[in-house]
Amino acid sequence: MCGIVGAVAQRNIVSVLIEGLRRLEYRGYDSCGVAVLGARGPSRARSVARVADLEGQVRDGHLEGVTGIAHTRWATHGAPVTDNAHPIFSRDALALVHNGIIENYETLREMLRGKGYEFVSQTDTEVIAHLIHSLYRGDLFAAVREAIAQLHGAYAIAVLHKDQPHTVVGARQGSPLVVGLGDGENFLASDALALAGSTERFIFLEEGDVCELSLDGVRIVDRQGEAAQREVRQVAAYGGAVELGPYRHFMQKEIFEQPRAITDTIPQADAFDASIFGEGAGQVFADIDSLLILACGTSYYSGLTAKYWLESLAKIPTQVEIASEYRYRESVPNPKSLVVVISQSGETADTLAALKHAQELGHKHTLAICNVGTSAMVRQTELSFLTHAGREIGVASTKAFTTQLVALFTLAATLAKLRGRLNDEQEAGYLKQLRHLPAALNSVLALEPQIIAWSEEFSRKEHALFLGRGLHYPIALEGALKLKEISYIHAEAYPAGELKHGPLALVTEAMPVVTVAPNDALLEKLKSNMQEVRARGGELYVFADTDTKIVNGEGLHVIRMPEHYGLLSPILHVVPLQLLAYHTACARGTDVDKPRNLAKSVTVE
Ligand code: F6R
């Protein structure tokens, strides 16, 4: 994934930039580069190999400077070749690095071509560089502000100009950017981790912020152009891989990283194309007549959600099994079934064994959906889709789950298209919805204070019931799993229609009933199920889409979600459940990131 580092100092800053890139390497990247300002403008080194190679180039080329920017690129627009590697230049006067995707880059490119700008890369980034250059009138900060007003999409950028030798300007929207404060020097990065060792004082920029780094300070304005006072946070240098930043626990950090993780996971292609799943996927997808999904725990629940998508969108029969069950049961193999294994770690013993078992039974087509590209699961499957959640440290999986859902929705849409069940308009609509997801997630994350208020109540309970229907039943399961594994409250989930077949007997005022209430076709049925709970004195805690019109009442507590998000709604609805589990666990004082008896990677049976 892409990473940014920038610095303004009075010393040669190249080693700080390279070290920053090295710290971001764990995210994965396919090219990297660094640019510094000299008397005649910016000069750069770029590599399609590793940061170590870039470092060699910098040393051999005697690249030195006091103001600079650097980047690790994970190719989106354009192949991982040197011309597409950042920093991208505009007319040898301006250098820019960028994380994210500019959706209207084609329109802007045409407009800039009309003004005589020549494009030498396939990147969307090059339009930002030329746009800022075209607007530059002696004030880089002003030019950046004017330029970003014309950008649609997600970005974090760092930019420098030859006429402002001690200035780096940054801006963010949809991608993180953090300012590091030094003594007579200042820094910029996409992750505080990149600057460990250079500073421990950070400002986490907010959406829409633009900043200007100089030797003696940092100027920040918000989206409206008003001077913004942002909190300076002390983040202790952490020699390990990932920083906690302003968060209390990694789980909280990872919940809040979801917009970024999803941005990085959404396929960059303009179409649902089989090639997203690897070479030969088109042929495999044409060969199959069904899917067999195998996974454990949270990954299993993402598979259960996918079944709804695969059967409704692609009309392809889909079976989902817990890996530890499948591996020991006598099943009837279907060689025309695609075996899909889902795993955050790619090392889960049961899932690996189930995969092997399926292969031994004669299943020849296999696909891994996994967060670790180097894992055994990816190596042992024919096809793969890598989620880009980044390292997940909290034992309770959060961002890995939502990125798995993005991958699985992409699979369902791709198969639907291949099977002639998705027209161009629908395809464009789903792609648009996917790209809007990070913004929608941000609005759900903003519900945290309301969820904290509920968590106080939950922390005093010993049992909880979760209800969902249809596509959101697996989300209820996931919510219950999150609550039990980190707060140790006994939680169970049911499809709401099952209540009257048994679990209703458990409902009393001491048993909070969490209800996932999207505004979908099953809403009226769900409302009847809620009545059944109320009639028995049960207290309902409902996450309701705004357009359901469900409001607070006696024994009915409601948190309003955004408007219904269609088929992708589960990805939004799971987030408040993660937050509820997290804050309930905090209120109970458990070890959130390392819950008792559990491990992150389950490599034993
Ligand atoms: C729960 C959780 C686990 C994992 C399960 C499978 O929060 O994280 O249930 O989902 O152990 O792990 P992976 O996805 O690595 O195969």
The residue extents of the domains of the chain are 2-234, 245-444, 446-593
Q: Which atom of ligand 1 is nearest to the CA of 602?
A: 11
Centroid of ligand 1 to alpha carbon of 376 (angstroms): 15
**394: how many CB neighbours lie within 10 A of its CB?**
22
Closest CA to 174 of 96, 92, 259, 244: 259
- The verdict on the CB of residue 299 being under 6 Å from ligand 1 is yes
Centroid of ligand 1 to alpha carbon of 240 (angstroms): 23
Range list of β-strands (E), 17-80: 31-38, 41-47, 67-73
CA–CA separation, 35 vs 553, rounded Å? 60
Residues of the chain with pLDDT under 50: 237-241, 603-604
* Matching fold, domains 245-444 and 446-593: yes
* Closest protein CA for atom 11 of ligand 1: 297
- The verdict on the CB of residue 396 being under 6 Å from ligand 1 is yes
Check residue 600 and give its pLDDT: 65
| DSSP character string of 74-109 | --SSS-SSGGGSSSEEETTTEEEEEEEEETTHHHHH
- The verdict on the CB of residue 296 being under 6 Å from ligand 1 is yes
Chain-centroid distance, C-alpha 395: 17
Among 255, 302, 341, 344, the mutation site with the greatest number of ligand 1 atoms within 8 A of its Cβ is 344
**555: how many CB neighbours lie within 10 A of its CB?**
15
Maximal C-alpha separation, the chain: 79
Cis preceding-peptide flag for 576 (omega within 30 of 0): no
- The verdict on the CB of residue 371 being under 6 Å from ligand 1 is no
Centroid of ligand 1 to alpha carbon of 298 (angstroms): 5
Centroid of ligand 1 to alpha carbon of 493 (angstroms): 18
- The verdict on the CB of residue 344 being under 6 Å from ligand 1 is yes
3-state SS of 130-173 is HHHHHHCCCCHHHHHHHHHCCCCEEEEEEEEECCCCCCEEEEEE
- The verdict on the CB of residue 375 being under 6 Å from ligand 1 is no
Centroid of ligand 1 to alpha carbon of 187 (angstroms): 37
* Closest protein CA for atom 5 of ligand 1: 297
C-beta separation of 284 from 312 below 8 A? no
Q: Where are the alpha helices (DSSP H) in 446-522?
A: 448-458, 473-487
Structure tokens at 393: 């440290």
Order of strands across the sheet with 201-204? Answer: 41-47, 31-38, 67-73, 3-8, 186-189, 178-181, 201-204, 233-234
Long-range contacts of 539-543 (CB under 8 A, 24+ apart): 539/509, 539/511, 539/512, 539/513, 540/513, 540/515, 541/454, 541/512, 541/513, 541/514, 541/515, 542/514, 542/515, 542/517, 543/514, 543/515, 543/516, 543/517, 543/573, 543/576, 543/577
CATH 3.60.20.10 fits 2-234, yes or no: yes
Residues 6+ apart with CB under 8 A from 146: 135
* Closest protein CA for atom 9 of ligand 1: 297
- The verdict on the CB of residue 397 being under 6 Å from ligand 1 is yes
Give the Å distances, CA to CA, from 565 to 30, 112, 312, 588.
Answer: 34, 35, 16, 33
CA–CA separation, 331 vs 198, rounded Å? 57
Centroid of ligand 1 to alpha carbon of 347 (angstroms): 10
CA–CA separation, 72 vs 20, rounded Å? 10
- The verdict on the CB of residue 302 being under 6 Å from ligand 1 is no
Q: Which residues are catalytic?
A: 2, 600
Question: Domain spanning 446-593: which superfamily?
Answer: Glucose-6-phosphate isomerase like protein; domain 1 (3.40.50.10490)
What CATH number is given for 245-444 in this structure? 3.40.50.10490
- Convert the pLDDT of each residue in 528-548 to its tens digit: 999 999 999 999 999 999 999
Q: Which atom of ligand 1 is nearest to the CA of 296?
A: 6
Centroid of ligand 1 to alpha carbon of 172 (angstroms): 32
Give the burial string for 168-203 (b: 16+ CB within 10 Å, else e). bbbbbbbbbbbbbbbeebbbbbbbbbbbbebbbbbb
Q: What is the mean pLDDT of the chain?
A: 93
Give the burial string for 468-504 (b: 16+ CB within 10 Å, else e). bbbbbbbbbbbbbbbbbbbbbbebbbbbbbebeeebb
Give the Å distances, CA to CA, from 330 to 324, 358, 361, 567.
Answer: 13, 11, 10, 34
Closest CA to 148 of 139, 157, 137: 157
C-beta separation of 272 from 422 below 8 A? yes
Q: Which atom of ligand 1 is nearest to the CA of 398?
A: 7
- The verdict on the CB of residue 345 being under 6 Å from ligand 1 is yes
- The verdict on the CB of residue 348 being under 6 Å from ligand 1 is yes
* Closest protein CA for atom 3 of ligand 1: 297
- The verdict on the CB of residue 343 being under 6 Å from ligand 1 is yes
Closest CA to 35 of 79, 94, 75: 94
Among 250, 254, 299, 304, the mutation site with the greatest number of ligand 1 atoms within 8 A of its Cβ is 299
Check residue 361 and give its pLDDT: 97
